[in-house]
Amino acid sequence: MKHLMTSVSVLSLGVALIGLGSAPARAEEPRVTRETLMAAVTWGPGHGKGRADAPVTVVEFSDFRCSFCRKFWKETLPRIETEYVETGKVRFVYRHLVALGPPSARAAAAAECAAEQDRFWPYHDLLFEQAPSVTFTDGGLRQYAKDAGLDPAAFDACLASRRHTERILSESEVARYLGATGTPTFLINGRLLIGAHPFETFKRVLDTELSQAGSGPRGAVDPGKPPGRR
């Protein structure tokens, strides 16, 4: 995976998300390191919930077709939101990790098109709600857009343009470079946690991070064998 450090897509993501991409072109591009990529996925533009100054940030790398991602969304995320995000303790960020083929990539693109109309989270929820029973065809994705109250013409134009493809693939590459070997994968203040663990595991890790806030990123979490991942 070392080749990812110098790939164009990873470089573009690291530079653009951190904000260096807005500067005039220079003779030498800034070197992208693991730390800059971690900062990019943690603080770069994206889809987040919670206070910007929360002491703990959770980054989820996810695939809308992943059954374990859906399990996390349905069973664990609501409790994290209630106990940690809504109380100002945790900031939660969603990133793409396309793992299950072209339909997953199209679903991710559709979610980005929904985000253009400030409806990322309703569309995100609708995709996970529908995931067990439907294939993510363009027709189905357009119907979900209508169900989510999006402007159909604007959504269709966005989906047809494929303008979010590079960003989605870049996020997926970065996720793998940072250690994601399946979905869902989480970075909790920089610490790696792979799999759809129960809320109790997240609570233990989050409470530890809150008690040590300000000490900086550490190694991967070792919660034992994940209950499942894809």
Q: Please list the residues that pair with 186 across neighbouring strands.
A: 60, 193
9 inside domain: no
90 inside domain: yes
Q: What is the pLDDT of residue 130?
A: 86
Q: Pick from 81, 88, 153, 143: which is nearest to 117 by CA?
A: 153
69 inside domain: yes
* pTM for this prediction: 0.81
Q: Which residue has the higher pLDDT, 55 or 28?
A: 55
Q: 118 with 76: CB under 8 angstroms?
A: no
Q: How many domains does the chain have?
A: 1
**pLDDT tens, residue by residue, 154-199:** 999 999 999 999 999 999 999 999 999 999 999 999 999 999 999 9
**pLDDT tens, residue by residue, 123-160:** 999 999 987 666 788 899 999 999 999 999 999 999 99
Cis peptide before 152 (omega within 30 of 0): no
Q: Please list the residues that pair with 48 across neighbouring strands.
A: 93
184 inside domain: yes
Q: What is the pLDDT of residue 4?
A: 37
219 inside domain: no
Q: What is the pLDDT of residue 41?
A: 93
37 inside domain: no
Domain boundaries, position 132: 48-211
Q: In the sheet where 90-96 sits, what is the strand order?
A: 47-49, 90-96, 56-62, 185-188, 191-194
In the structure, what pLDDT confidence band is assigned to residue 13 with cuts at 50, 70 and 90?
Answer: low
Q: What is the pLDDT of residue 79?
A: 97
19 pLDDT more than 80: no
29 inside domain: no
Q: Which residue has the higher pLDDT, 204 or 218?
A: 204
Which domain CATH number covers 66? Answer: 3.40.30.10
Q: What is the pLDDT of residue 137?
A: 87
15 inside domain: no
Token pair of 181 as six digits = 């070997």
